[in-house]
Amino acid sequence: MEEAKIICWDLDETLGSFRDLVSARSGNRSPHPQDVYVLRKDLIRTLNRLLDKGYRHVVVSSAKFDYSVKVLQTICLDAYFDKILGRSKPAEGIWGKRYKPAAEAFELNDSTAPSHMLVIADQASDEPVDLSVVFIHDERGLETSALDYEYVAEALWEKGEGSFKRGFEFFFETGKRMTCLDQEMNFMLVSARITENITANLGYRNSPCTQGLKVPVIYNLHAP
């Protein structure tokens, strides 16, 4: 059986911009197909290409669950995702997200999830607080092609010989060390060439929410 390759996507400002659906997000009404929204460049192409390569997609959003489902259904993206996870309680989602429910949906645990899961989001506050899975933190706008994520994911999987976490460790260990005074990043940052055309910074962030949890973070992605 082929090993699982799971990508957990943030919804708002990662998959697209749905600001015109703000009234739907608040629960006052449902999204409508004529509402204006913007998808990330090459998103649908990337989702399809990754599916063809055996990846599985999950949405993990800090927005309300009902909003996340309705948005994806309205823009006809729900069929791409095996699972949609959203906030169910007002106190949730202040900082960090829990990705264990996504891992458990594919029978992954604390030990196996880091090898088989990636997180992609635009905000630092989307980082995992319950699993040491690779977090691609990309603040670039929606005009940036989603294909970059495919290339990075494939490079991690290849260099890690079937493990995203080992792939991260490969680039962290072989990259160029940078001076870093940021204690949140464990004092050390690395600049690495992930693919021929993509460079990024890598580091281990000490979780502000979970003592002892170090999150492998890829950020400052740059592609011509």
pLDDT in tens, 132-183: 999 999 999 999 999 999 999 999 999 999 999 999 999 999 998 876 655 5
Is the pLDDT score of 1 beyond 50?
no
- Please give the model's pTM, rounded to 2 decimal places: 0.90
Percent of the chain scored above 70 by pLDDT? 84
In a domain, 199, yes or no: no
Domain count across the chain: 1
Alpha-carbon torsion (14, 17, 19, 25), positive or negative: negative
How confident is the model at residue 89, as a pLDDT? 56
Predicted pLDDT at 70: 87
pLDDT of residue 80: 98
The DSSP bridge pattern shows strands 134-137 and 55-64 to be unpaired
Q: Name the residue range of residue 57's domain.
A: 5-158
Q: Does residue 206 lie in a domain region?
A: no
CA angle 183-135-175, nearest 5°? Answer: 65
How far apart CA 80 and CA 83 sit, in angstroms, is 9
Is 173 among the domain residues? no
Does the CA dihedral 94-19-99-161 come out positive or negative?
A: negative
- The answer to whether residue 174 is domain-embedded is no
Place of tokens 């003592």: 211
| 79 assigned to some structural domain | yes
CATH number, residue 29: 3.40.50.1000
In degrees to the nearest 10, what's the CA dihedral of 154, 93, 188, 168? -20
| The pLDDT of residue 35 | 62
Residue 208 domain flag:
no
- Kindly state whether residue 14 falls inside one of the protein's structural domains: yes
The pLDDT score that the predictor gives to residue 218 is 97
Give mean pLDDT, residues 74-79. 92
Which one is predicted more confidently, 189 or 52? 52
More confidently predicted of 205 and 80:
80
Q: Which residues is 16 bridged to in the sheet? A: 12, 39
**Is 48 a member of any domain?**
yes
Q: How far apart are CA 203 and CA 205, in angstroms?
A: 6
Confidence of residue 207 (pLDDT cuts 50, 70, 90): confident
Interval 22-65: pLDDT, tens: 554 445 555 555 567 889 999 999 999 999 999 999 999 988 89
Tens digit of each residue's pLDDT (9 = 90 or more) over 84-120: 998 765 545 467 899 999 999 999 999 999 999 999 9
